Each structure stands twice: as C-alpha cells, then as structure tokens.
Amino acid sequence: MDEVLDEVVPTEDLKKYEKVYHEQLSSGNITQKAQFEYAWCLVRSKYSGDIRKGLILLEELFHTDKEESKRDYLYYLAIGNARIKEYNKALQYVRGFLQIEPGNHQVHDLEVVIKRRMEKEGLVGVALTGGIVLGIAGVVGLALALAKKK
C-alpha cells in the first residue's frame, strides 16, 4: 500500500490528460471522464499544488457524478490528502468510504498505512519537542548550578 501512496505519475501522462481537460474547458463542455482522468493524474503528482488542484476536481465530481462513481472519488480524495500529509482529512474520507463498503480491504489497507504514517511522523514531532524540553532543562540546570556556585 505504501507503494500506491508514494508512486508518482509520469510527466507525459499528466500533460496528456491536462491537455484534454483544458481543451474541453475552453470549449465549455467538460466530460466527467476527462475531469476524472486529469484529477487522478494530479493527485499522483510530486507537487502538492497539483495534488490540491486534483482534490478540488475530485470534490466537484463527488457532488455532481452518479452514486456508483462516488466510491472512486472518496478513495482518491483520501489518497490525495494523505499524500500532502492532511492525514485527518484523509481518514475522514476513508471512514466515509467504509460506511458505504465496510468490508473493502483496499480501503482498510489504506487506513492502516495512513495511521502508521501519522504515528511515525507524530513521534518525530514528540521527539523534537522532547529535545527542546531537554535543551531548556539543560539551560535551567546550568543556571541553577551557576547560582549555587555564587
């Protein structure tokens, strides 16, 4: 599952589907197919700006497309948010999905990976704060020691 979250779209693919989308945009008639294909490429980009753009397109599709397609949008909304480290949002989409399809292993696997990443990156945060606390304690300790000497 980590591989699915980390793989990056080939640039030529992103450009290809971007072109189709923009052609339709200028002609004023965007098909859901073109929008989805472009959005799917965007959320697999290495740039967070692209991913955010993809998320907007997916949200729009989620609200306008038919019921049976919604699972695909929820899934990629979760993937995109996880890729830009918006883990809480990603988990909200995961939970939304699992309400519709509680037994879906693909989405369960995604949930596990997101939680593991949160934990891992959360711990890094704690360790950093811990380091600062230790640093402060050190300074305080030194100050106390100096005060005692006096």
Partner 1 sequence: MSVGPYNYSYIFKYIIIGDMGVGKSCLLHQFTEKKFMSDCPHTIGVEFGTRIIEVSGQKIKLQIWDTAGQERFRAVTRSYYRGAAGALMVYDITRRSTYNHLSSWLTDTRNLTNPSTVIFLIGNKCDLNAARDVTYEEAKQFADENGLMFVEASAKSGENVEEAFLETAKKIYQSIQDGRLDLNAAESGVQHKPSQPGGRNTLVNDQTASKDSCSC
- Site for partner 1, rule CB under 8 A: 1, 3-4, 9-10, 13, 17, 33, 36-37, 40-41, 69, 71-72, 75-76, 101, 103-106
Type of residue numbered 13: D
Nearer to partner 1, 1 or 84 (CB): 1
- To partner 1, the closest distance from the beta carbon of 8 in angstroms equals 10
- To partner 1, the closest distance from the beta carbon of 84 in angstroms equals 18
- To partner 1, the closest distance from the beta carbon of 115 in angstroms equals 18
Question: 61, 73 in Cβ contact below 8 A?
Answer: yes
User: What would the 3-class secondary structure string for 99-149 be?
Assistant: HHCCCCHHHHHHHHHHHHHHHHHHHHHHHHHHHHHHHHHHHHHHHHHHHHH
Start-to-end C-alpha separation, the chain: 61
Nearer to partner 1, 4 or 124 (CB): 4
